[in-house]
């Protein structure tokens, strides 16, 4: 009926992230007991955090006309001035970063931040050249994959696989073969990595920083799960930032995904451009999340909650999920789990899997278990790269209630085992 533009076809067509969010939205909306939602990035409802959000809403409603102003007034496109000031002061105070409010901008969620960043830095340049974003380690976040409005936007690099224990492995950046060409506009990583729970080491981050500096390009770090908040990191790391780096933060994984509050910490020139894009695309950004956490930034409570509530909660969630995987998968078939170092997921690898992970996704969905096929996360690779590994992996979340996670793992085991039985006749 309608003829779409090239941009419309790219952004309006099917994608891994739209499939993920569609599954997630329907599963959460239906609330059906037959759906085990193990595929999305929905954070858990942590009781102590939910109580704190409710308290903050009551405080705002009881404090003069604060709630009316939050709901009824536009903020500037760059974000609420008090929020940006409190954020910069917290980063200086707690991490020693040389930032001011001019280094900070708010976007309507982290996904929007990356759409802006990628198109500011890469694509067709003013002189006609085309530049790309380098992903030095795949698998990488599914939400980046379809953001380009014209042509391929990414150049990805295969990792080294290091076996770190029985049925455990870890992806590492292969610096021996990593090349940063003149057509690279920026280097981008997530830390912790979505989908694998990998945390790039401080040394890996330092080497990427050096490579970026040598080329005069920025290093982008997607810090949606990282330090200082929500600090869903299970290893010791040092948060770093300088004027040649772009750091994104989010309120989602603290437990406020519905507020759609993303944060960019970067050079003032880039921050100003982000604000202009926000004004053009959406006039202003949601203010409710900023208002909720403002006093928590000012007092440092946001760090206490991240360190003492959010982080331990997910450490235990990860431990339980890995225990059930070992218990249910053991002796039935070959499997490996990526070392769980942060974020909300387990990354499962079934070497030699007789069916593709996409077929496994369909079989599991038919049984009421929603996961994400691993192949979606291996984008940006040369079309000639044929790596079977990318079709042998899947991502599952461990944020859902314990019975849902446990039952989902059991169904995954049954379907993987069935695939092997069919192959063996």
Distance between CA 254 and CA 4 in Å, rounded?
38
Query: What phi and psi, each to the nearest 5 degrees, are found at residue 46?
Result: -80, 120
Looking at the structure, do residues 154 and 99 belong to the same domain, yes or no?
Answer: yes
DSSP secondary structure letter of residue 342: B
User: Quick one: what percent of the chain has pLDDT higher than 90?
Assistant: 83
Residue 31's CATH number: 3.90.1150.10
Which structural domain range is residue 274 located in? 75-299
Which CATH number covers residue 161?
A: 3.40.640.10
Longest dimension (CA), the chain: 72
Domain closes at, from 249, 277, 299: 299
If asked whether residues 258 and 335 sit together in one domain, one would say: no
Indicate if 171 and 293 belong to the same structural domain.
Answer: yes
Which of 278, 299, 320 is the last residue before a domain boundary? Answer: 299
**pLDDT tens, 339-367?**
999 999 999 999 999 999 999 999 999 99
Do 216 and 235 fall into the same domain? yes
Domains in the chain: how many in total?
2
Asked if 49 and 255 touch (Cβ cutoff 8 Å), the reply is: yes
As a whole number of angstroms, the distance between CA 302 and CA 208 comes to 29
Q: Which residues share a beta bridge with 403?
A: none
pLDDT surpassing 60 at residue 33: no
In terms of C-beta distances under 8 Å and separation of at least 24 residues, what long-range contacts does 418-421 make, across chains too? 418/363, 419/353, 419/354, 419/355, 419/360, 419/363, 420/333, 420/354
The pLDDT of residue 21 is above 70: no
List the one residue out of 139, 104, 125 whose CA is nearest residue 377.
Answer: 139
Residue with more model confidence, 334 or 382? 334
Residue 70 CB partners (closer than 8 Å, separation 6+)? 60, 287, 288, 291
Q: Are residues 116 and 203 in the same domain?
A: yes
- What is the spatial distance between Cα 29 and Cα 216, in angstroms, rounded to a whole number? 46
My answer on whether 231 and 375 are in the same domain is no
* Mean pLDDT computed over 49-77: 94
pLDDT score of 11 more than 80: no
Has residue 63 been placed in a domain?
A: no
314 assigned to some structural domain = yes
The tokens 């909650």 sit on which residue?
305
If we measure between CA atoms, which residue out of 87, 118, 123, 92 comes closest to residue 104? 87
pLDDT in tens, 215-253: 999 999 999 999 999 999 999 999 999 999 999 999 999
Distance of CA 317 to the CA centre of its chain: 18
**pTM exceeds cut of 0.75:** yes
Is the pLDDT at 18 greater than 90? The verdict is no
Are 323 and 288 in a shared domain? no
């Amino acid at each position: 009926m309608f003829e779409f533009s090239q941009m419309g076809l790219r952004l309006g067509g099917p994608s891994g992230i739209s499939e993920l969010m569609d599954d997630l939205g329907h599963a959460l909306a239906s609330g059906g007991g037959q759906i085990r939602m193990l595929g999305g990035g929905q954070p858990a409802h942590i009781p102590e955090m939910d109580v704190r959000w409710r308290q903050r809403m009551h405080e705002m409603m009881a404090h003069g006309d604060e709630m009316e102003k939050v709901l009824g007034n536009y903020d500037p496109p760059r974000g609420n001035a008090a929020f940006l000031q409190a954020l910069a002061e917290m980063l200086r105070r707690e991490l020693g970063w040389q930032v001011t409010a001019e280094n900070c901008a708010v976007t309507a969620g982290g996904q929007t931040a990356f759409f802006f960043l990628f198109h500011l830095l890469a694509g067709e340049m003013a002189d006609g050249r085309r530049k790309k974003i380098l992903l030095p380690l795949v698998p990488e976040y599914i939400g980046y994959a379809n953001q380009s409005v014209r042509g391929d936007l990414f150049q990805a690099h295969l990792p080294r696989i290091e076996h770190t224990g029985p049925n455990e492995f870890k992806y590492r950046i292969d610096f021996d073969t990593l090349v940063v060409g003149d057509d690279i506009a920026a280097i981008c990583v997530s830390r912790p990595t979505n989908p694998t729970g990998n945390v790039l080491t401080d040394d890996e981050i330092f080497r990427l920083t050096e490579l970026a500096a040598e080329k005069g390009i920025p290093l982008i770090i997607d810090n949606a799960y990282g330090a200082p908040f929500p600090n869903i990191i299970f290893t010791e790391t040092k948060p770093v930032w300088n004027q040649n780096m772009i750091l994104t933060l989010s309120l989602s994984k603290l437990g406020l995904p519905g507020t759609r509050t993303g944060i960019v910490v970067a050079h003032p020139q880039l921050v100003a451009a982000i604000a202009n894009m926000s004004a053009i695309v959406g006039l202003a950004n949601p203010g409710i999340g900023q208002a909720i956490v403002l006093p928590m930034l000012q007092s440092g409570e946001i760090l206490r909650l991240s360190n003492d509530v959010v982080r331990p909660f997910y450490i235990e969630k990860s431990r339980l999920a890995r225990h059930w995987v070992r218990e249910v998968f053991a002796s039935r078939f070959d499997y490996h789990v990526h070392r769980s170092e942060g974020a909300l997921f387990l990354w499962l690898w079934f070497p030699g899997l007789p069916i593709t992970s996409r077929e496994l996704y369909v079989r599991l969905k038919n049984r009421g278990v929603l996961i994400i096929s691993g192949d979606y996360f291996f984008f940006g690779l040369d079309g000639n790269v044929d790596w079977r590994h990318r079709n042998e992996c899947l991502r599952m979340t461990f944020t859902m209630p314990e019975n849902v996670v446990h039952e989902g793992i059991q169904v995954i085991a049954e379907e993987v085992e069935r695939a092997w039985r069919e192959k063996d006749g």
